[in-house]
Each structure stands twice: as C-alpha cells, then as structure tokens.
Chain A
Amino acid sequence: MNTVAIILVYSTSHAIQAERVLKKAGLAAKLIPTPRQLSSDCGSAIRIDAADQEASTAALERAGVPIDRLVAIGA
C-alpha cells in the first residue's frame, strides 16, 4: 500500500511553484530535498499523499508546472 508519492521536477524553482500550486488547490504538499534513492541530483522535490496523485498532476498541468516524473513510495 502506497502512502506517499514524490513528484520530481526539473529545478528547485519548479518545486517551489509546484508546492504553491498544490497548496492553493487544497492538496497536502511539502517541499523536500530530492530523495537520494530517486536521483543523484541535489535539488528539490514535492511530497504528496499517494491518494492525491491524479488530482496533483492535473492541478500542476493546469498551472503549467512541468514535471519530470511521479514516484509512489511503499509504506
């Protein structure tokens, strides 16, 4: 069962914008450092509830925030 999902984006500024957009849409989102297991990049990513995956990607697409990929993390 997945409890959280990580949205990887292309830059720290995209991550900041993504967090802003998701919070505005009423979704739980937190700016975090990109988890080392997912990328060697030292940038930033967004953690969301796994249940919000579709709503989140839709909200980001509407706002025009490009995303790299979305990874569900096992509990």
Chain B
Amino acid sequence: MSKPNDFFATLAGIIVVGLVIGGLAATLQRIGNPANMGVCVACFTRDIAGALGLHRAGIVQYLRPEIPAFCLGSFLAALVFREFRPRTGSAPVIRFILGMFAMIGALIFLGCPWRAMLRLAGGDWNAILGIAGLIVGISIGVGFLRGGFNLGRSYPSRTVAGLVLPAVMFVLLILAVLYPQFGEDGRAALFRSAKGPGAASATVVASTLAGLVIGFLAQRTRFCTVGGIRDAILMRDFHLLSGVAAFLVAAFVMNVVYGQFHPGFTRGVSDAGEIINQPAAHTTHWLNFGGMILAGLSFTLAGGCPGRQVFLSGEGDGDAGLFVLGMLTGAAVAHNFMMVATQSTAPYILAIGLVLVMIIGFMGRERLAPAR
C-alpha cells in the first residue's frame, strides 16, 4: 500500500476529506450554486432529470456537472489505485426501486443527507427535522439488517458492465459543457431554467473541478453520510461519522465567513406580510421528518447514501449504477405526479413508499442454510 492511500484510511484522512468537501460545498454556493445547495446529490440529479426533459418543473432544470464529475472522479481514483472492479447481480431491480423511493423521500424533505447537513450549516432549522427523520429511517434499516435483510452478493462482471455508467456520465458531462439545444428552445432538450434554483449555478469549470475532486476523495475514504450514522448505531463506530461532522463544521464556518448563515425556520416576513421560507425549504415538520425516514430507510437497505451510490457506480458497481438510474427516474416521477415537498400527492406517496420499502425489508430477510 502506498502512503497516501494509508492516510485516507485514517481518522485524520476522513476528517480532512470531510472538511474539504464541506468547504467546497459552501464555496460552490458562494460562486453561484443555489442557497444551502452547494452540493446535493438528490437536487442535482433532479435538475439533470429536468434538463433531459424527464419532468416539467421549469425552475429545476439544469444539467449539473457535479454529478457526472462525482462519478468520473471516483472512476479515476479507482483506476489509479487499481480498485476498479466491475460487478453486478445483487438484486438490481430492487435497488432501482429503492433508488426511486429514496429520491421521492428526499424530495419531500427537499434534499439528500448531504444537503440536510448543508441546510443545517446555513441555519435552516427545518433540517433538524430532516436529520432526525434520517436517523429514524436508518435505525429502522439497521433493524432489518439485524433481522437478516440483505440483497444478496454481487458477482464480478465483464469490464464493459462496469464502464457503462461512467460512460453515460461522461456523455452527460460533455452535454453539460456544450449545452446543445436539440430543437426549439423550451420545447426540446436540453432544458435550462430561466429562474429558480435551476437558474443558479457556479461556472461549468468550477462545478466540474469541484465534482472531480470530491469524487476522487470520497472514493479514497468511503465518505458516506448514511454509512456514518449506520455504523454509529450498529457498532458504536464513529469513523465515517467523523467525516460527516467535519463536513458540517467546515460548511458552517465557511457559511459564516461568506455571510451565508441565516438562522431560523423561516427567513422572516415580507413587507406584504407573507412568510419567507428558507431557500428551497418548507416548514411542514411532519413531511420533513417523514420524507427523510423514507429516504434513510431506502438508503440503508441499499447500503449507502446517494453520494456513495454515485461513487460506487464510478468504481464499477453496476448495482449502485441501477440505484442512481432509479434516483433519476424517481425525481421525474416525483415532479410529474406532484409528490415534492408539500405538493398534493406527497403525503400519500410517503405512506405508500414507507409500506412498500418495509415490505422489501421484510421479504428480503435471508434464512441461513446451516450445513448438515
């Protein structure tokens, strides 16, 4: 093992990487990304779904370079350190469905676990409900793991199987850079928001570089928010959680430095007497809490947070790739069927999602077959 590799395996390594990712996230917001959304795997995947025309929510359509760059950064790290291992075969369709429901839950809250931390670091106290829900969802997931839940083992596969998702991400990155128009503006892909969060972005170069660095570092360290909470609950191990804490602290400090810290459940009241919400947030506490229970449970059953799934897909894990495609589909479904935040269908799909994912949890328990 080389020495830098050993460093990334240490506690200091994961803390340094958490600090770097948190600092980069706050900085991406400073240079143009949406408020409290320097990086968000759920929101950005949703924006990509919009750019491709998979949903029609006009304010969240932008082919974000960060997501493909995450995958490609991880891909490069895996190649350099000889950890690119094409593999698949661990219940791919279930992972696709879990990806969909994880995304639907995250969009009810309005953010993945990373953005939950970034919202907290920006003073959005609604994030406390989301993080509490995330912890409850992961705890339920840990209960299923203790009861024998697993999705079966994956098997080594052909190189091409591991290359598919990085290749798709490479094409997306090229499209993000060129942003071609395939027809009449507003009627054909690629779509691009004129206002709202989808219109806010750092430059393509900055987003791509930050994404590549984050992908590379996360592959080296196993940085994972859901894994961090899971390990703390399951085995009182705080290695991964230390990285998450460092991520939160760095984002908070940089937000204060940049003047991006605005504490409260809302941003006060407008001159017209209307309540101003925190950016891309709502104050319906039970939906913030419940949405993240669904997301946390889905992520735990699938074995990692959305960022982690993108990084794993970069190192050849075809099952994680299916989860990512499930998230892309889930984002489109969520917006097309009015399931986002406090929209009309959100409470119903939350209940349906929790029941369905619990059924997957119960039915996925394995009975050991002792040797006779």
CB pair A42 B369 closer than 8 Å: no
Q: How far is the CB of A45 from chain B (nearest CB, A)?
A: 10
Q: How many residues of A contact B (CB 8 A)?
A: 26
Determine whether A27 belongs to the interface, using a CB cutoff of 8 Å to chain B: no
Q: B148: which A residues are within 8 A, CB to CB?
A: 13, 17
Determine whether A69 belongs to the interface, using a CB cutoff of 8 Å to chain B: no
Residue interface mask B208-250, A partner, CB < 8 A = 1: 0000000000010110100100110011010110000000000
CB pair B371 A64 closer than 8 Å: yes
Determine whether B277 belongs to the interface, using a CB cutoff of 8 Å to chain A: no
CB pair A13 B149 closer than 8 Å: yes
CB pair B366 A13 closer than 8 Å: yes
CB pair B368 A17 closer than 8 Å: yes
> Closest chain A residue to B148 by CB distance?
A13
Q: How far is the CB of A24 from chain B (nearest CB, A)?
A: 12
CB pair A10 B308 closer than 8 Å: no
- Please judge, given known A-B contacts A35-B9, A37-B6, A42-B227, whether A11 and B235 are in contact too, CB under 8 Å: no
CA gap between A14 and B154 in the complex, in Å: 13
Q: Which of B1, B78, B231, B368 contacts A40 (CB 8 A)?
A: B78
CB pair B234 A42 closer than 8 Å: no
CA gap between A44 and B368 in the complex, in Å: 18
Q: How far is the CB of B170 from chain A (nearest CB, A)?
A: 21
- Please judge, given known A-B contacts A11-B153, A12-B145, whether A64 and B368 are in contact too, CB under 8 Å: yes
CA gap between A40 and B75 in the complex, in Å: 12
Q: A11: which B residues are within 8 A, CB to CB?
A: 150-153, 303
Q: Which of the four size classes fits the interface of chain B?
A: 35 or more
Q: Which of B8, B153, B234 contacts A10 (CB 8 A)?
A: B153
- Please judge, given known A-B contacts A12-B145, A12-B150, A13-B366, whether A37 and B235 are in contact too, CB under 8 Å: no
CA gap between A19 and B123 in the complex, in Å: 41
CB pair B150 A32 closer than 8 Å: no
CA gap between A31 and B145 in the complex, in Å: 13
CB pair A13 B145 closer than 8 Å: yes
CB pair A36 B150 closer than 8 Å: no
CB pair A44 B235 closer than 8 Å: yes
Residue interface mask A8-45, B partner, CB < 8 A = 1: 00111110110000000000001111011100111110
CA gap between A12 and B222 in the complex, in Å: 15
CA gap between A14 and B368 in the complex, in Å: 9
CA gap between A61 and B123 in the complex, in Å: 52
Residue interface mask B302-331, A partner, CB < 8 A = 1: 011000100000010000000000000000
Residue interface mask A64-75, B partner, CB < 8 A = 1: 111010000000
Residue interface mask A39-71, B partner, CB < 8 A = 1: 011111000000000000000011111101000
- Please judge, given known A-B contacts A11-B153, A16-B146, A42-B224, whether A33 and B370 are in contact too, CB under 8 Å: no
Q: How far is the CB of A18 from chain B (nearest CB, A)?
A: 10
CB pair A42 B240 closer than 8 Å: yes
Q: B304: which A residues are within 8 A, CB to CB?
A: 42
CA gap between A15 and B372 in the complex, in Å: 22
CB pair B237 A40 closer than 8 Å: no
CB pair B235 A36 closer than 8 Å: no
Q: B369: which A residues are within 8 A, CB to CB?
A: 64
Q: Which of A13, A30, A35, A42 contacts B308 (CB 8 A)?
A: A42
| Given contact pairs A16-B145, A16-B146, A40-B83, a sample of 14 additional A-B residue pairs in the complex whose CB atoms are under 8 Å apart | A12-B303, A13-B144, A13-B145, A14-B150, A32-B237, A36-B8, A36-B9, A36-B221, A37-B6, A40-B78, A40-B222, A42-B222, A42-B227, A44-B231
Give the 6 A-B CB pairs with smallest separation, nearest first.
Answer: A36-B9, A10-B153, A11-B150, A64-B368, A13-B150, A64-B369
